Structure 1
Amino acid sequence: MAKELSSRINPAEYEKSIYKFWLDKKLFHADEYSKKPAYSIVIPPPNVTGSLHMGHALDETIQDILARFKRMKGYEVLWMPGTDHAGIATQNVVEKIIASEGKTRYDLGREAFIERVWQQKKESGGTIISQLKALGSSCDWDRERFTMDEGLSRAVREVFYTLYKEDLIYRSNYMVNWCARCHTALSDIEVEFTEKDDFLYHLKYPIENSSEYLEIATTRPETYLGDTAVAVHPDDERYKHLVGKNVILPLINRKIPVIADNFVETEFGTGCVKITPAHDQNDFAAGIRHNLEKIVCIDENNKICGNFYKEFEGMDILTARKAVIEKFKELDLVVKIEPLKHNVGCCYRCNSVIEPRVSMQWFVKTKPLAEKAIEAVKTGKIKLIPKQWENTFFEWMNNIRDWCISRQIWWGHRIPAWHCADCSHTTVAKTDPDKCENCGSINIHQDEDVLDTWFSSSLWPFSTMGYPEKTDLLKKFYPTSTLVTGFDILFFWVARMMMMGIKFMDDVPFKDVYLHALVRDEKGQKMSKSKGNVIDPLIMIDKYGADAFRFTLAIFAAQGRDIKMNVDRVEGYRNFINKIWNASRFILMNLGDEISKIDENNLESVDKWILMKLQHTAKKASKAIDAYSINEAANELYQFFWMTFCDWYLELIKDRMFKGSEKEKEYALATAANVLEKSLIALHPYIPFVTEHIFQTLTNKETIMFEEYPDNLNYNFEKEEKGIDKVIEAVSLIRNIRGEYNISPATQLEIYINTDDSDALKLFQAEMLLIMKMGKAKSIKFNEKAPENCAKSVGNGFEIMVSLEGTINVEEEIARLEKEKKAVLKDVNLYGGKLQNEGYLAKAPAKVIEKDKKTYEEAKARLDKINEALDGLKK
């Protein structure tokens, strides 16, 4: 061969050079004019200033597997890459940097601050892209996009303008989720709920001109400053006589009505609810229904405002809460205070507690857009995988609220709306206007807010391909074929892409949505820096190579199941990469100048057997990848290469290679090399670097990337396959006996095979030498009476007996087995007893019970084997 593999594998020696070769040859570039069928994926754009984490690594690995697989299946593949400007996250990063310099964004001013963010993007924006390349991502990097590049910004303006003109975007004073830390409104799905320890405060609200009072239970007593009513359920007999009367708010002496409303839950707290329309989502809706005043008592910095009670003015929320309770205690208006665990809304970016507040914001009317997205999923135009996500999707979409798309930050697409100071008209335009479209005044100013990051990313499947122009790229690759993303952004991003794609392209944005699970630590906990359980993908790649890391992620990526990741698993699959390397090196060392074609006339049974196994494996893997069963395909390929090809086939042909004639060696190596070549092709989507490197060395071809996936092999050697399977079964039983009785590997065994199956007998006789070699036997006798002291094992239609005479010390072996039996019996009795204890079964967690069952079954199976071995020895 022109090249050989080094004696030890070192991914660092070839991974970077191979990736550079792929880039230099533009092998990832998609041709929109190709006559091949199209297959396209858009990458979920990572934050431009971010770095690769385990979620990205899993996401990109799955996408790369699909992209490489489809290239081998004859598709023209576009994997569109890019990054997201990530408004809040990126602004937070830059604000922290300037804070370290003793400044705020307001010190810099809007224009200078935006310049600073662009500078940060220039300095760190390429980090995550280079990390994706280290992972092996075969994106079309010539087409890399950014959500704030010129083309995508134009698409954003076009979409905003169109929706506004169709009355699907409006501006209104409305209740929003407010983050005082990020100083912006958030949409509902940007609020993450966290369980927190809190208190439920039971307070007295006195009835006007009466000795009665209503007992209010609240977690937020400080908001009583903005109360404008108290609500009870209309059917609650306890309070019917009070509806229509007034209560007097303590300290501030505001008179507010007692109203009846169905939203009150009679069973929660006291059945009386204070209504603060300016600071609670439900209260805001109730305020609209009952025409209540919206009194703001907490400002945008989460400070008490409004001149209600001078002592509270300017306090932060928690300080005010304590102060209010103290004043209520002084007036003997506190009934009780109870500890409470409840879910509190927090900002998804900074984890600050969210404060609902009324604010002037921009909204998208989502109901009309959601209806068509729901229909697309119901009719199967869009498939959610796993299918179980459909119910969650329908529930959320059917109850969708208008989408708040304005953010009070500076980094992002500034809202293309200009307000007139003279006539108060708002002009929305595709290009910056110089005067008011209503009155012609030049005294106009652009809206200060920017668009929600998810607004621009919702256009990603078509904006990246040239929209609003009708490009050839859109014509070829839209709608995209598959979207791969985490289930946690099904509503952040996926649902919004559906709505926008159907609206503006009159077609779904993708056909399949594969929602993968999360990568957690080995205990199943979410990875976080605070817990110290984060595994850095780049460290894994540097230490074990990208292929081992990718394969680990893939083989554990079962649909709907979180991946429990630890370093040992990556190291384990590094051993698999080593196995591929060593097996390839073994074949290359013995191969001539080129791989001979397989001559079916000169194949032996084992050759036909391995070709059939290859054929089955490739077809199963192909089918599994198409069904997004990424882990199943990985496992099929792993089992075939390591166990079937290396552990069995290469061992089975060694006599022909080293003791046979030149022709026998040539035929054996031809089969081995051809199977190796096809195996590398089948494995390439999972482990692209090592397969490319070995393939080029083995074949002298330029690249493996466009080789035909070997799922269309058409061998017809079923008889030989079944025969060698039976031979392997026999050898495995012999090896099991050797292991069970601690027989030395050097001991040559006397074997007896009995069978009533004439075909099996002929097979075993024909393959006797093979069985003797693999089973390390000095003799095999068929259908003869075996001597005393034999170990027996039963196969499918035959039995194997191994004479123990002279192979072991029977008394010592009996003593060893009896000792092991005692230890195993302890487990059988312990776990068997637990599983029969009804009290234990009622209290123990399901996972613990399942683990106990597994331990019991394993111990019981081991006990049966020990008893069987002892029976054989004591005869």
Structure 2
Amino acid sequence: QKMSKSKGNTLDPLDLIDGIGLEDLVKKSTASLLIPQVRKKVEKRIRKDYPYGIQAVGTDAMRFTFAALATYGRTINFDLKRAEGYKHFCNKLWNAARFVLMNTEGFTPHDEPVLHTAAERWIDNRFRDTMQSVAENFSSYRFDLLAQDLYQFVWNDYCDWFVELAKLALNGSDVAAAASTRHTLLAVLEGILRALHPLIPFITEEIWHEVAPRLELQQNSILERCYPNPSQPATLPAADSVAAEPAITQAAVTEINTLIEAVTQVRSLRSELSIAPGRPVPLLIEGRLDNPERFTAIQSMLQALCRIERIEILPGNTTPPASAATPLLGAKAHLPLEGLIDIAAEQARLRKEIHRIKQEIGKCRGKLGNPRFVANAPTEVVEQEHHRLGEWSRQVAVLRKQVERLSE
């Protein structure tokens, strides 16, 4: 429904930025009604939709929300939850900056950062690809797509993966790799701040003033820095690999992408079995790997990121012990179950959960199979039941797969 003050369904951006209490929101929303008779209806809706008022999301999150909604269409379906999500994004950026600053205390850069590790080459390549896409979307005024590009890069590539991979180098024994990783963390973060500044200027300026001295930048404000150029990397390759840079970069990108795929598979398996994240487990590999050399290159990182105490490649005709398995780089990865869980108790728990969900599925199907319900219920309620049915069905499929794994 179109927002209108006379209908009492508007949201003041300042109320989203600063927050507003329930009573003040009710008073504000009912002050300009053209039809006084609808006051009770409007007040009832507001008290139902905003029982605690509206929590503050901040200026930057609000700006990012409107950028993400800036499509070519003339109608915008505003969702307060998106603004709350972008508030979490700003918090994520802040926490990543705190990690970088904490781990670069006392660090002195020397010229431009030199890439020593595959993870550094990967993040540098991803940054350039992202900025190329951002430049194209700026030129076509697709602010929604460029906001999405930057969100995905910062949240997924930099915070979720590169920061985790950087911890391995920072805690490792290779001094050169640790130094280059610190420099790359700072350099890419500074590039991220410049890229995000037009959308979220306040938090990026604040963080930049902490990052700039670490990189020995002389400007007084982030506004004096150039916007990131996709043709210029944020970092430099190691001096002994300049001639072979494209091939080495591609090999590093492939290596890290393979690692991400493997880590995702193993972590998903651990999660399905409810194994505590900090508990070390063995990993058995059955079958032939697509690329043994590449697996060897990522093996130590895989062990560290997935808390694997040892990796054992089973001989050709060896039958693995009772375990849960998942595809891994052309082979099969097994987590032995002995000592990890009580198999019989876990199977009983899963079957009980399947039974409970089947009852919920029966309720959903009963409602959707009732012509009167479908004809008279609001459209959003019917859609919600369809969504619940699909979600319950997906959960049953996952649980059945777990039972099958435990029975192997």
Say whether residues 1:535 and 2:68 are aligned partners.
Answer: no
Q: CA deviation at 1:612?
A: 1.8
Aligned to 1:724: 256
Say whether residues 1:564 and 2:97 are aligned partners.
Answer: no
Give, as a single letter, the amino acid of the residue that structure 1 aligns with 2:230.
Answer: D
The structure whose residues are more often strand, as a share, is 1
TM alignment of 1:384-783, pairs within 5 A: 525-529=1-5, 533-542=9-18, 543-560=56-73, 561-566=75-80, 568-591=81-104, 592=106, 594-598=108-112, 600=114, 602-699=115-212, 700=217, 701-705=219-223, 706-713=225-232, 716=246, 717-754=249-286, 756-759=288-291, 761-783=292-314
DSSP 3-state at the match of 2:222: coil
Unaligned stretches of 5+ residues in structure 1: 1-524
CA distance in structure 1 between the partners assigned to 2:201 and 2:314 by the alignment? 51
CA distance in structure 1 between the partners assigned to 2:79 and 2:189 by the alignment? 30
Pair 1:718–1:696, CA change in 2 (3 A): same
Q: How many residues align?
A: 348
Pair 1:741–1:526, CA change in 2 (3 A): same
CA distance in structure 2 between the partners assigned to 1:807 and 1:750 by the alignment? 10
CA distance in structure 1 between the partners assigned to 2:293 and 2:365 by the alignment? 45
CA distance in structure 1 between the partners assigned to 2:138 and 2:127 by the alignment? 16
CA distance in structure 1 between the partners assigned to 2:172 and 2:117 by the alignment? 16
TM alignment of 1:140-289, pairs within 5 A: none
CA distance in structure 2 between the partners assigned to 1:528 and 1:756 by the alignment? 64
- Of 774, 799, 809, which residue of structure 1 is paired with 2:332? 799
Aligned to 1:825: 358
CA distance in structure 2 between the partners assigned to 1:770 and 1:732 by the alignment? 13
TM-score by length of 2: 0.75
Deviations 1:147-174 (A, max 9, x none): xxxxxxxxxxxxxxxxxxxxxxxxxxxx
Pair 1:824–1:612, CA change in 2 (3 A): farther
Aligned to 1:866: 399
Q: CA deviation at 1:713?
A: 4.0
CA distance in structure 2 between the partners assigned to 1:793 and 1:628 by the alignment? 43
TM-score by length of 1: 0.37
CA distance in structure 1 between the partners assigned to 2:69 and 2:319 by the alignment? 47
Q: CA deviation at 1:776?
A: 0.6
CA distance in structure 2 between the partners assigned to 1:557 and 1:863 by the alignment? 38
Deviations 1:13-37 (A, max 9, x none): xxxxxxxxxxxxxxxxxxxxxxxxx
DSSP 3-state at the match of 2:230: coil
Q: CA deviation at 1:874?
A: 2.1
Asked whether the 8 Å contact 2:290–2:331 carries over to 1, the reply is: no
DSSP 3-state at the match of 1:653: helix
Deviations 1:837-857 (A, max 9, x none): 888778877766654444333
Pair 1:853–1:646, CA change in 2 (3 A): same
Q: CA deviation at 1:548?
A: 1.5
Deviations 1:655-688 (A, max 9, x none): 3213434322211111111111111122112111
Asked whether the 8 Å contact 1:730–1:800 carries over to 2, the reply is: no
DSSP 3-state at the match of 2:198: coil
Asked whether the 8 Å contact 1:678–1:710 carries over to 2, the reply is: no
Pair 1:834–1:621, CA change in 2 (3 A): farther
CA distance in structure 1 between the partners assigned to 2:371 and 2:293 by the alignment? 55
The structure whose residues are more often helix, as a share, is 2
Asked whether the 8 Å contact 2:168–2:301 carries over to 1, the reply is: no
Q: CA deviation at 1:587?
A: 1.3
Asked whether the 8 Å contact 2:255–2:297 carries over to 1, the reply is: no
Asked whether the 8 Å contact 1:682–1:710 carries over to 2, the reply is: no
Please identify the structure whose Cα radius of gyration is greater: 1
DSSP 3-state at the match of 2:221: coil
DSSP 3-state at the match of 2:78: strand
Asked whether the 8 Å contact 1:723–1:763 carries over to 2, the reply is: yes
Give, as a single letter, the amino acid of the residue that structure 2 aligns with 1:733.
Answer: Q
DSSP 3-state at the match of 1:563: coil
Asked whether the 8 Å contact 1:748–1:777 carries over to 2, the reply is: yes
Give, as a single letter, the amino acid of the residue that structure 2 aligns with 1:619.
Answer: Q
CA distance in structure 1 between the partners assigned to 2:368 and 2:72 by the alignment? 30
Asked whether the 8 Å contact 1:606–1:649 carries over to 2, the reply is: yes
DSSP 3-state at the match of 1:767: helix
DSSP 3-state at the match of 2:62: helix
TM alignment of 1:32-47, pairs within 5 A: none
CA distance in structure 2 between the partners assigned to 1:626 and 1:813 by the alignment? 55
Pair 1:742–1:757, CA change in 2 (3 A): closer
Asked whether the 8 Å contact 1:735–1:775 carries over to 2, the reply is: yes
Q: CA deviation at 1:757?
A: 4.1
Deviations 1:62-111 (A, max 9, x none): xxxxxxxxxxxxxxxxxxxxxxxxxxxxxxxxxxxxxxxxxxxxxxxxxx
Pair 1:839–1:777, CA change in 2 (3 A): same
Deviations 1:336-384 (A, max 9, x none): xxxxxxxxxxxxxxxxxxxxxxxxxxxxxxxxxxxxxxxxxxxxxxxxx
Aligned to 1:416: none
DSSP 3-state at the match of 2:277: coil
Q: How well do the aligned residues superpose, as a CA RMSD in angstroms?
A: 2.9
DSSP 3-state at the match of 1:774: helix
DSSP 3-state at the match of 2:321: coil
TM alignment of 1:825-844, pairs within 5 A: 825-831=358-364
DSSP 3-state at the match of 1:641: helix
CA distance in structure 2 between the partners assigned to 1:818 and 1:598 by the alignment? 58
Pair 1:832–1:556, CA change in 2 (3 A): farther
Give, as a single letter, the amino acid of the residue that structure 1 aligns with 2:226.
Answer: E
The sequence identity of aligned pairs, in percent, is 31
Asked whether the 8 Å contact 2:113–2:187 carries over to 1, the reply is: no
Deviations 1:379-413 (A, max 9, x none): xxxxxxxxxxxxxxxxxxxxxxxxxxxxxxxxxxx
Pair 1:848–1:712, CA change in 2 (3 A): farther
Asked whether the 8 Å contact 2:190–2:208 carries over to 1, the reply is: yes
Give, as a single letter, the amino acid of the residue that structure 2 aligns with 1:630.
Answer: F
Asked whether the 8 Å contact 1:751–1:777 carries over to 2, the reply is: yes
CA distance in structure 2 between the partners assigned to 1:608 and 1:666 by the alignment? 15
DSSP 3-state at the match of 1:744: coil
DSSP 3-state at the match of 2:310: strand
CA distance in structure 1 between the partners assigned to 2:57 and 2:111 by the alignment? 35
